[in-house]
Structure 1
Amino acid sequence: MIDALIAGRLYGIAEQRTGHAGSAYVTCKVKAMTDDGDGIICNVIAFNDTVRETLLQLEDGASLSLSGALTPKVWTDKQGNARPALDLVAHSIQDLAFAERK
């Protein structure tokens, strides 16, 4: 696990779900740009109430920063190419609308 700060744009919309024990959580995807101009998708899950509520209010393409526990992964696309992926358990969030409210 890596303690990380990810900045990017919401890719799609966040979805609220319920776990087996009845606990609520939110999942979403964030597209972060790399140094070479490519984007990498970060799969995000949030259990924190503030993070969940904020993610659910954001629209597709909203700019945001998330911090939390990051796990790097590799997956193989249909052409057999190895591609990077990131999984983040988000503990805190800052979005553009939050910054404007401050």
Structure 2
Amino acid sequence: MIEGLITGRLTTDPSERTDRFGKTFMVARMRATVGDGNLRPNAAAEIPSSLFVNVVAFDPVPCKQLLDLQEGDVVSIVGPLTPKVWTDKQGASYPALDVVAYRVLAVPTQIHSAEFA
């Protein structure tokens, strides 16, 4: 397990789920830029240097913070990271991370819009 801080943009609205014991938790997905963000070759195609981050939160505070966010918001997540690899239908492999959110640092888009309106 790697403890870390990762920043990216939410690619979906965070959603609340319930486990089989009735306890609620939050899940979200974000995309984070890797390195300097330049294009790099991967499986004979040029794609941005980014990775998908699967976020799950169990504690009430990060769950509430995620619930206030929406797709497109920039967010920083603190917690244990687990490196993963996923393969698309064409057989190209991509890096990914799973993270359990202990802390969520973000400014929701609604707040930004209200400040400048």
**TM-score of the pair, normalised by structure 1:** 0.89
State the structure with more CA Rg: 2
CA-based RMSD: 1.3
- Size of the aligned set, in residue pairs, is 98
Question: How far did residue 89 of structure 1 move?
Answer: 0.7
**TM-score of the pair, normalised by structure 2:** 0.78
Residue type at the aligned position of 1:63:
V
Identity of aligned residues (%): 41
| Alignment of 1:87 onto 2:103 | no
Which string of whole-angstrom CA distances, capped at 9 and with x for unpartnered residues, describes residues 8-53 of structure 1? 1111100100011111100000111111422211000000111111
CA distance in 2, matches of 1:80, 1:7: 27
In the alignment, structure 1 segments of 5+ residues that lack a partner are none
Q: Which residue of 2 aligns with 1:77?
A: 88
CA distance in 2, matches of 1:26, 1:60: 14
Question: How far did residue 5 of structure 1 move?
Answer: 0.4
Runs (4 or more) in structure 1 with deviation over 6 Å come to none
Which string of whole-angstrom CA distances, capped at 9 and with x for unpartnered residues, describes residues 49-78 of structure 1? 111111111121111111101100112111
